[in-house]
A and B are shown apart, each in its own frame.
Chain A
Amino acid sequence: MTIVGQAGQSVNYKGLEVVATGIERAQNVALIDCPPTTNSQRGNARAGEEFVVVSLAFKVTPAFKETIVKKPVLTDASGKVYNTSVAIIDPGSQPEYKCSFPFRVATGTKVASVQIDTASIDLASLEKK
């Protein structure tokens, strides 16, 4: 079953409430797992590429049971899927947190949605015009 939500609205995935709060584009991004750590490494896009950085806010509800939560994937307007290097680790360790997930895409790629396993959040409305 796919759970579908709009940007700004929360989607409940196995007891985790997830909200997409923003999209930014960058050439150089912090490589920090989720919930955020203080890892010091940064990643770089190559010429002709950029990172789409999707910000997601998480809220852990009582229904959440500790489990391995899959990494988000990004789908662009043409249906192509992109992976992120950021992993969700110990998702129940904090009641609420915000994370940034960088996805390396060709410069100017229009994004459509982000998915965590069966949960999907529409991102089109977050794209800056």
Chain B
Amino acid sequence: MEIDRRAFIASLGGTAAVSMMDSEAKADALEHWMEESLDEQAAAAQGGTPEKFPTVAELDAQIETRNYRRGTGNVFVNTRGNVKKLEAMPKNPTLQDFFRLRFAPANHVLQSATRALKTGMSEEIILACLLHDCAQALMKADHGWWGAQLFEPYIPEKSAFGIRYHQALRFYADPDAGYEYPDLYYRIFGQDYTPPPHIEATYKMLRNHKWYMEPRMVTVNDLYAFDPNAKVSIEPFTDIIGRHFKSPKEGLGNDNSPSAHMWRTLGNPDAPL
């Protein structure tokens, strides 16, 4: 079972209270917490008392309990301890190198792309699914736009469109297309969250766009890619990457493309300036 460390510590009265507990008390508290969480999940699964989700105000109140911003990219922060020294990138790094050394384990995007592949979606959509959240290594906030900008010098326009706009469409259920609003967003944005005006305007634009289904299918596969037991790898996508990802011979970050600097930042996030 995955433990929400922050919620667990908060349930005990915060870090100060935890620091006063001996090891046995901490172990008992953790066991109790896990049992309760499991019971809540089981009850919810059986249609019992549903999980209580935070409000936007409650999530805002947590901001000053952290020493990082929630929108920070994954390579820059470790919420559970110190960051580790990163293996250096090869001289001419490829997309696969970034998957191995900076995006790993990348289970979610690999699951998402695997589902797109197995349900017979287009290669542009499969590629979009494979890449849709990779920019979260660099920046979580507005990751759809960041991701599209990162990849668009190298991939089909439809794939970049799917990556950019999945960020807006994920807030709007579309049962005809097979997309439901997930619990996850109640949990991380707040149950009373309403998307900001630019997201609402983007959604309205997309509803009438001929490529609506590109980002919509990214959101559909996104939903079904949170399986902790799924076994996935990048191997099934080697050919699709080969056909659709214009890998620069100098390596990503060395090719002077409009997003080369973003790849360099991912390659060396420890650069001080």
A interface vs B, CB < 8 Å? 24, 26-33, 37-44, 46, 68, 71, 82-87, 89-90, 102-104
Contact = CB atoms under 8 A, between A and B. Distances in A.
Shortest beta-carbon contacts, A-B, top 7: A43-B180, A85-B178, A104-B175, A42-B183, A39-B227, A68-B120, A38-B229
Interface stretch (B44-52, B74-82, B203-211): B44-52
B140 interface: no
* Residue among B44, B175, B177, B182 with max Cβ neighbours from chain A (10 Å): B175
A106 B181 CA distance: 16
Contacts, number: 85
Contacts of B178: 71, 83-87
Interface residues of B, number: 29
A28 B183 contact: yes
Interface string B12-51: 0000000000000000000000000000000011010010
A116 to B, nearest CB: 14
A90 B118 CA distance: 7
B226 interface: yes
Interface in B196-249: 220, 223-230
B261 interface: no
B226 A39 contact: yes
B65 interface: no
A41 B177 contact: no
B103 interface: no
